[in-house]
Structure 1
Amino acid sequence: MEVVGCASLGLLSKIDKTLDEWQRVAKNLTSVVRTDLEALCLRVVALIYHHLPSHLKPCILYFAIYPEDELISVDKLVEIWVVE
């Protein structure tokens, strides 16, 4: 992926574009890189999850109820586990 990206940037550098056009290109590249990174992270998490012992899988799934970057109260999480 990195080689293709570097080669593409090399070719793009030879194209005469305005600053606005280059900013649009940069925004699109950032989006692609972020998407690829997110996909890679999801694959890694899925791989780890599938290799967990059965009794630990539900513990990991409880984290899905929390929005990204939210602080998770240990007491609240334990309470949810105990109720289950």
Structure 2
Amino acid sequence: MIPNLVTVRHRRPGGRGLRLYVPVLPILLVLSPLLLLAVLAGLVACLVYRVSPVSALRGTGQLLWALPGTRIEIQQGRTAVLVSVR
């Protein structure tokens, strides 16, 4: 399943935390013209490096399919960032 929501939490050293909810589908629709250019650039890169475009597309799809449930936590000192993909 493609991710639906990305949650980003940022905890500041002395203040309150900041939480952002980013819906994936509306962002994907807004950026779809750039996505088309990225796909074309990827196809050109596949031809230059002699990689099968079908295999590259399949690998990208598998990577996106595995993203839901991913949690990335970064903490340095008293600042912390959590990225959660649902």
Q: Quick one: higher RCO (CA 8 Å, sep 6+), 1 or 2?
A: 2
Shared fold, TM over 0.5: no
| TM-score using structure 1 length | 0.31
| TM-score using structure 2 length | 0.31
Give the structure with the higher percent helix: 1
Give the structure with the higher percent strand: 2
Q: Which is higher, the Rg of structure 1 or of structure 2?
A: 1
